[in-house]
Structure 1
Amino acid sequence: MSIDLKSLRQQLKTKRKQVDKFQQQSSSSKILHRLRHFPQLQQAKRVGIYLHAFGEIQTQQMIEYCFAQHKQVYLPMICTMNQQLHWVKISKQQYRNKRFSHHPLGMQEPMASRAMHVSKLDVLIMPLLACDVYGTRIGMGGGFYDKTLASAPNKPLRLGIAHDFQLVQERLPRQVWDQPLDVLITPLHMRLFKR
């Protein structure tokens, strides 16, 4: 039986937007607790992460944790020429003062400055709509992360974070261009996948 991806995407987008503020904070705290004990993040110097905008797991606590651990924090910026994400280093002050520009797709991104290729990151913390037990990740449909990671086959560690309901038991279809996760962390689960 094949999965109707369009329907699954819509269902999960709706469910994700309905997560209340208390549940969001609780989920974010539980995931951060797991991340604190995750060796690859402890050892990482350069961490790519996103600014939440559409009901994804909120990232404020994780970003502040990275700054407190003296890690370099990088945020994605969409390159309009090739539809890939380029990674811009931000400072604690820039983050706290919310010095970002508004992208037409609805999210905030760092102001244009020197950016770095994704392969220079040690860990990439990624949002998602769904992930199956094999590490297949379904995003919002733009393919930005897939296009970006296709040019970096070995690095960085690909770490998805999600609400528990976003971990689906059915096998999701994986196209040749889809870039699977190495790790998925939810409030209740941590799954490691073979790439």
Structure 2
Amino acid sequence: MSYDLNTLRKDLRQQRRAVSKFQQRQSEQAVLNRIIRLPEFQQAKKIGIYLHAFGEIHTRKIMQYCFAQGKAVYLPMICNMNQRLSWVHISQHQYFSQRFSHHPLGMKEPMSSRGLHVSKLDLLIMPLLACDAHGTRIGMGGGYYDKTLASAPQHPFRLSLAHHFQLISETLPRESWDQPLDALLTPQALLRFPR
């Protein structure tokens, strides 16, 4: 089956926004319970992660766990010059005091002029709209993660978090510039994808 990606994105955005607060709390806890058992997470010292903003799996508890375990947390910031992401280290104090700027696309970003290149991270936790059984990831359409990962001489372990309905049974189209995942974590399952 071939997908109209615009229709797919629209449908999945609506489904994500329709997830109740109660379901989000349950999903966030279930994902935390799974992720802390992942060897890649346990071994990671520098973790790139997103701030949820559009109905994605919430990341607050994962970040709190990282701070408690002494892991360094990095948030994405869009570089306007090259439309790639750089990764800004934030402290627990910065996170809880919500010292973020608002990007025109609607998400919050750390306030900083510079950050790390993605290749310096051990683990990259990404949002998505859809993923198939081969690790093909469909994002919001800006291509920021794909462009950023394509520029990396070495890649961190790429993990996406998703509600189970975002796992698509049909094969999604993969372009040459698309950057596949290493694993997908939902509240119900962990899928690993061979590179």
Q: Same fold (TM over 0.5)?
A: yes
Q: What pairs with 1:160-171 in structure 2 (closer than 5 Å)?
A: 160-171=160-171
- What is the CA-CA distance between 1:154 and the residue it aligns to? 3.3
- Per the alignment, residue 146 of structure 1 pairs with 146
- Per the alignment, residue 10 of structure 1 pairs with 10
- Per the alignment, residue 123 of structure 1 pairs with 123
- What is the CA-CA distance between 1:117 and the residue it aligns to? 0.2
- Per the alignment, residue 159 of structure 1 pairs with 159
CA RMSD of aligned residues (A): 0.8
Distance 2:175 2:147 in 1: 12
Residues 116-143 of structure 1 show CA distances to partners (whole Å, capped at 9, x for unaligned) of 0000000000000000000000000000
Distance 2:2 2:17 in 1: 26
- Per the alignment, residue 178 of structure 2 pairs with 178
Q: What pairs with 1:98-137 in structure 2 (closer than 5 Å)?
A: 98-137=98-137
- Per the alignment, residue 78 of structure 2 pairs with 78
Aligned length in residues: 195
1:158 aligned partner, one-letter code: R
Q: What pairs with 1:54-73 in structure 2 (closer than 5 Å)?
A: 54-73=54-73
**Between the two proteins, what is the percent identity of the paired residues?**
64
Residues 137-170 of structure 1 show CA distances to partners (whole Å, capped at 9, x for unaligned) of 0000000000000012532000000000000000
- What is the CA-CA distance between 1:91 and the residue it aligns to? 0.4
Distance 1:110 1:188 in 2: 31
- Per the alignment, residue 43 of structure 1 pairs with 43
- What is the CA-CA distance between 1:2 and the residue it aligns to? 1.2
2:3 aligned partner, one-letter code: I
Distance 1:134 1:71 in 2: 30
**2:31 counterpart SS class:** helix
Is residue 192 of structure 2 the alignment partner of residue 192 of structure 1? yes
Q: 2:86 touches 2:114 (CA, 8 Å); kept in 1?
A: no
- What is the CA-CA distance between 1:59 and the residue it aligns to? 0.5
Distance 2:114 2:127 in 1: 23
- What is the CA-CA distance between 1:113 and the residue it aligns to? 3.6
Give 5+ residue unaligned stretches, structure 2.
Answer: none
Is residue 24 of structure 2 the alignment partner of residue 24 of structure 1? yes
Distance 1:163 1:72 in 2: 25
**2:62 counterpart SS class:** helix
Distance 1:144 1:91 in 2: 24
Distance 2:37 2:98 in 1: 28
- What is the CA-CA distance between 1:17 and the residue it aligns to? 0.2
Which TM-score applies when normalising by structure 2?
Answer: 0.98
- Per the alignment, residue 92 of structure 2 pairs with 92
1:118 aligned partner, one-letter code: V
**1:15 counterpart SS class:** helix
**1:115 counterpart SS class:** coil
Distance 1:10 1:38 in 2: 32
